[in-house]
């Protein structure tokens, strides 16, 4: 089994950050209540550069400094969390705040959560309004470790979500192993579903599963209001995507009234 304690010792004293990060926020909308359920924090560079640019620059700086990759991943994850919480508090966010985390950057969840707790307390952001999305573009090597993260976070009052479900490694096996509070359906499953009976059938069964398991479903990548109408007809009420609102850099976008009006 992977040693989850050694990296924590290496990360006790964080190095100076090579980047000034900003956050963009995109709403996750409860369309049945016509209100924002949460805002997802999306990391951006000092001039608003996308997340991919941030990861490239951070890795290049760590490589140049000779820092171990395992430690650099931890520090980037921590910096993103703290920046998101501080930005949300500064903007007066009253909804849940959804933060992406990389499970392979969390070595011991009880130790690694301390900076998050301290930041939330410093700025007065309620712990019960924090939602952490498990996101991983590489295979998660240890599902038991991810379940430990989720159980630890739940004990602190945080919500947890599995991101990009239905694509890559975010499959049914991982879902059953880790049992999060929220499942975010990948845009590849959502895109064009109003034209595809197979997609509709799959999502209808997912909605039934969510009701029976007590899990909240969120449809990602909704780029057409016809998709939103179809999702509502299937019993999926929580959505996120450009058809509702684009991410706003250091601001909290609102849903235009005409968006709701077109769903009738």
What's the pLDDT at 152?
A: 92
- State the pairing for strand pair 35-44/22-30: antiparallel
Q: Which residues contact 197 (CB under 8 A, 6 or more apart)?
A: none
What's the pLDDT at 67?
A: 52
- Averages of pLDDT over runs of 10 residues in the chain (264 residues) are 45 59 97 97 95 85 61 79 97 97 80 89 96 75 84 92 86 90 96 97 97 97 97 97 97 95 86
What's the pLDDT at 18?
A: 63
Domains belonging to the chain, first-starting first, are: 6-261 (3.20.20.450)
């Amino acid at each position: 089994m992977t040693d989850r304690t050694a990296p924590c010792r290496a990360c006790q004293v964080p190095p100076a950050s090579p980047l000034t990060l900003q956050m963009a926020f995109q709403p996750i909308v409860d369309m049945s209540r016509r209100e924002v359920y949460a805002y997802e924090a999306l990391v951006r560079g000092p001039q608003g550069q996308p997340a991919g640019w941030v990861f490239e620059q951070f890795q290049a700086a760590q490589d140049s400094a000779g820092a171990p990759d395992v430690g650099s991943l931890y520090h980037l994850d921590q910096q993103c969390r703290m920046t998101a919480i501080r930005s949300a508090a500064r903007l007066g966010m009253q909804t849940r705040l959804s933060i992406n985390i990389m499970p392979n950057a969390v070595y011991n969840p009880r130790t690694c959560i301390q900076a998050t707790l301290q930041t939330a307390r410093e700025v007065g952001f309620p712990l019960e309004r924090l939602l952490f999305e498990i996101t991983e573009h590489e295979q998660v090597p240890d599902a038991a470790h991810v379940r430990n993260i989720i159980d630890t976070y739940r004990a602190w009052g945080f919500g947890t979500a599995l991101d990009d479900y239905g694509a890559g490694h975010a499959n049914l096996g991982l879902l059953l192993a880790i049992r999060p509070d929220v499942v975010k359906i990948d845009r590849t499953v959502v895109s064009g579903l109003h034209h595809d009976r197979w997609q509709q059938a799959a999502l209808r069964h997912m909605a039934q599963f969510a009701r029976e398991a007590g899990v909240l479903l969120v449809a990602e990548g909704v780029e057409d209001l016809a998709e939103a109408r179809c999702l509502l007809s299937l019993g999926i009420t929580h959505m996120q995507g450009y058809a509702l609102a684009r991410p706003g850099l250091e601001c909290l976008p609102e849903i235009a009234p005409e968006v709701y009006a077109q769903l009738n």
